[in-house]
Structure 1
Amino acid sequence: MEKAKGFKGNLFFLFIATFIFIFILSLKTPRTYRSTPQPRWAPTPATCPLVSNTTITPLQNTQHFLVSAYMDQRVDGLDVRIIGIFRRDSIQPLQCFFNCGSRCNNSAFLTSPTTVLQHSDNFGFPFVTTDAMCSIPKDCHPTHVTLLTQPHTLRGSDLSWLPIRNQKTNGKETRFKFNFTVCVSNLFGDYNNVLQVAQALEMYRLLGVDRVVIYNTSSGPELSRLLHSYSQEGFLEIVSWPIDKHLNPSRGWLFSQFGGDLHYFGQLTTLNECIYRSMERSRYVLLNDIDEIIMPYQHNDLMSMMNTLQRQQPNTGVFLIENHIFPKKHFEPSGRFHLPQWNGVPGVNILEHVYREDPDRNIYHPHKMIVQPRMVEQTSVHEVLKHFGERYKVPLEVCRIIHVRVALRGPLPLEQLHEDKRLWDFHEKLIPNVDGALQRAGLLRSERES
């Protein structure tokens, strides 16, 4: 009995000693305290959200693609517009997912419902340009946004985020950096019309354009050198547009005729993207192709023309300019501007083509546009789809498009065309400027080589 009592006493003292040892050890071990619960979507410094570094971002768990996001508070109750390319037959409910902070280790992540607006022009293709419209949650000052299909299964670090552009600072209106920006949609198919591009860009510079934005899927080697040169000097902004890496883009405008996933390599998406890209920095945006020049006929520059038009049409935000074809198969007979230094440059010499077709007004005749970007919500190629303010068709004697390309009305003989030498009014400055641009790009042959 005495042995049993001793054994129990030893166990008691052993238990007490063990308890004291563990208590002392715990005093030396650091402890973590949580003063407040952490936000559900708060990342750690090691799991910072990934910002998309491409212009076309696949959206997880969908067949859709995100392009860019812009602050846009022109529509009541909505604050952010995410431009995308969605498959029309599989649009599901989505949520906007906001990064409400400036640093990855000091951010909260909040969601809000999304309204997806399909643009009305899709020309029968499976994929369509879309706007995902979102309201910003209360007490959120977002820097980045994305879309979610299942908000509770992903972490902020699992997603590709889009920066929210066009954010105003201190509530002040942004002063326009540019008067005119030209938006050129989609170079593709290794396009290499070097001489005509140089002439068009230099012509626009003479007319007062400050910036040209080109969406480039693929261009030929000489044209790539020319575009790079213009980009380096700051006149040209090249936006990479690798749409062919994600979809089977069409080379035509109508699905029933050309097939494919998306109209003209995503032309509608790039035109809309360019309007929003330019909205806070350019007073006017010209929406046209690289082989088209929107040419004033009563003024020597675009600013003088627009000042006149805006005085006459003060509530107008969309100016429609009629397209006129100058068939490249007809040459001006004197050869005055068939210049030897351009013989080795690939492409069309627009100064040699001075004969203009009359449009067939019995069928639809397209226009291109000069717009005030803040007065446009959605655009197609030849018309705006949603806009604020008025539209105005500019009279032909004031402005028209000079479009040197294959004839639209092929059978017309030369006698039924009209001589139009408006481009020649600028030749004294245009020719040396084109020579300089080609020279800087290393594309102009020397007289010794000619």
Structure 2
Amino acid sequence: MMSSSTKPNLIAILYIATFMSIATYSYLQNRKFSFMPVVKNSLCQGIVVNDTITPLRDNRTFIIAPYLDNRKNRMTRVIAIVHHKEVKELYCLFCHPSSGETHISKAEIQVLSDRFEFPYGATHLLCPLTENWDPHYMTIQRSPKNNTGPLPLFEIRNREPEGSLVDFTVCISTMFGEYNNVLQFVQSMEMYKILGVGRVVIYKNSCSKLMEKVLDFYITEGIAEIIPWPIDSYLDTSSHWHHAADPKDIGYYGQITALNDCVYRNMYRSKYVLMNDIDEIILPIQYPDWKSMMQNLKNKHPDAAVFFFESHLFPKHVFTPNDPFNISSWRKIPGTNILQHVFREPDRNPVENPRKMIIDPKKVIQQSVHKALQAYGGNIYVPMNVGFLFHCRVSHQPQLPRESLIRDISLWRYNVSLVGNVSKVLHQIAL
């Protein structure tokens, strides 16, 4: 039995504790990130999802993956796609694997600025983490209240190293439209290997059966990592970069979202990440490979986060006269033979040439196609005599006569190794 003399003291303690709880809660509510009280529920019994794209129940929010980001303020950064007008509030629910406890916090919704007027855009959801707490799983929902029914659980990546550390990873996004440019793909992959790639990450929407066979070869070899990218199962996708050219839900098959996911997926698996398409190759000019080039550039610019390389277009309809690389065994392979195209278009003044980049993934915060939107370091524009982006594709200036084009055989520095390696791969795949 409790004595009557202890009752006033207990009431006072309870009053003070209640007051402190209310004051703490109000303080947290007024902060940019607001934590809700710790609760115990059935969240840890939710369904762990492994799909690359997971729609929430509102069908206006699509989760790609959460990543631990403790570079500045400890948080979980969730790569997502959201409708920029209709999604105004989201909540992060964290699950502790052993106790079953959960933390709920309000997400800061950052729709990336390069949305190009499409309704849906690449988005970062910033979810703060409490100190000394290491959740393994989380989910996102529209309300701070727990929904009924099982919730999708996402494993938080980058909590510990995943996969082998390599010097260079190339991020390819996105492969779509039943892609079948087999010969150019193999040539690009073999050039990447010559230049020093350790991993090529490909966000694949669709490709031909023949291309599937090629991808399987590189997966078995250990160089390719294929990320399924079925974005057109959820959104009306455009193959153009701007909404005015093709008014759909999202631009270029969600390319910017895929690039952001690729940065964080490889943040602690790769020293550098290259952001370019499969028909593009960053060619070193003063150096034999990427490693020697980047060692020199990094020594000169130790605080840089992004190294830009100017793109130069080599039109695929202009062939080399007296072609030394019209290889008979390659003729039956669908696609472009880049060794046959060594005439580049002149600059289109005053239009600036686009650029692609090599980034330090640990320093990049938000990524777009031709620039890093946010980073913890500066930008370096690499001179063309050090390196440039070889881009073999449909011409920007088809009206130009041949004499206006510039002969540039930089690629031919690698022709012996490239021809031998490509022929060997085509033979091994039995194309």
Normalised TM-score (structure 1)? 0.84
1:59-95: CA deviation from partner (whole Å, max 9, x where unpaired):
123511000110002232x410000000011122221
| C-alpha deviation, 1:440, in angstroms | 2.5
| C-alpha deviation, 1:109, in angstroms | 2.1
Q: Larger deviation: 419-428 or 78-87? A: 419-428
2:280 paired residue number: 292
Equivalent residues of 1:188, 1:216 under 8 A apart: yes
**Which residues in structure 2 correspond to 1:309-388 (within 5 Å)?**
309-388=297-376
| C-alpha deviation, 1:139, in angstroms | 5.3
In structure 1, distance between residues paired with 2:174 and 2:341 = 25
Greater C-alpha radius of gyration: 1
Q: Does 1:81 align with 2:77?
A: yes
Which amino acid letter does the alignment assign opposite residue 301 of structure 1?
D
- 1:52 is matched with which residue: 49, 53, 59? 49
1:164 paired residue number: 156
Equivalent residues of 2:364, 2:375 under 8 A apart: yes
1:231 paired residue number: 219
1:63 paired residue number: 60
Equivalent residues of 2:312, 2:353 under 8 A apart: no
Which amino acid letter does the alignment assign opposite residue 384 of structure 1?
A
Which amino acid letter does the alignment assign opposite residue 99 of structure 1?
C
Identity rate, percent = 39
2:247 paired residue number: 259
3-state SS of the aligned residue for 1:258?
coil
**Which residues in structure 2 correspond to 1:43-442 (within 5 Å)?**
48-76=45-73, 78-101=74-97, 106-138=99-131, 140-154=133-147, 158-168=150-160, 177-442=165-430
Which amino acid letter does the alignment assign opposite residue 63 of structure 1?
R
In structure 2, distance between residues paired with 1:70 and 1:248 = 27
3-state SS of the aligned residue for 1:89?
coil
Equivalent residues of 1:217, 1:242 under 8 A apart: yes
Which amino acid letter does the alignment assign opposite residue 380 of structure 1?
S
Equivalent residues of 1:176, 1:283 under 8 A apart: no
1:370-409: CA deviation from partner (whole Å, max 9, x where unpaired):
0000110001111110011110100000100111111112
| C-alpha deviation, 1:250, in angstroms | 0.4
3-state SS of the aligned residue for 1:98?
strand
| Structure 1 gap ranges (5+) | 1-37, 444-450
| Structure 2 gap ranges (5+) | 1-37
3-state SS of the aligned residue for 2:362?
helix
In structure 2, distance between residues paired with 1:165 and 1:440 = 35
| C-alpha deviation, 1:354, in angstroms | 0.7
Equivalent residues of 1:101, 1:141 under 8 A apart: no
**Which residues in structure 2 correspond to 1:31-42 (within 5 Å)?**
40-42=40-42
| C-alpha deviation, 1:236, in angstroms | 0.4
Equivalent residues of 1:57, 1:65 under 8 A apart: yes
In structure 2, distance between residues paired with 1:297 and 1:313 = 19
In structure 2, distance between residues paired with 1:273 and 1:245 = 19
3-state SS of the aligned residue for 2:244?
helix
In structure 2, distance between residues paired with 1:436 and 1:175 = 28
2:4 paired residue number: none
In structure 2, distance between residues paired with 1:324 and 1:54 = 37
Equivalent residues of 2:313, 2:393 under 8 A apart: yes
Equivalent residues of 1:112, 1:137 under 8 A apart: no
Q: In structure 2, do the counterparts of structure 1 residues 98 and 356 end up closer, same or farther at CA, with 3 Å as the change threshold?
A: same
2:10 paired residue number: none
1:115-165: CA deviation from partner (whole Å, max 9, x where unpaired):
11110110010001111101123553211111122343425x611111111
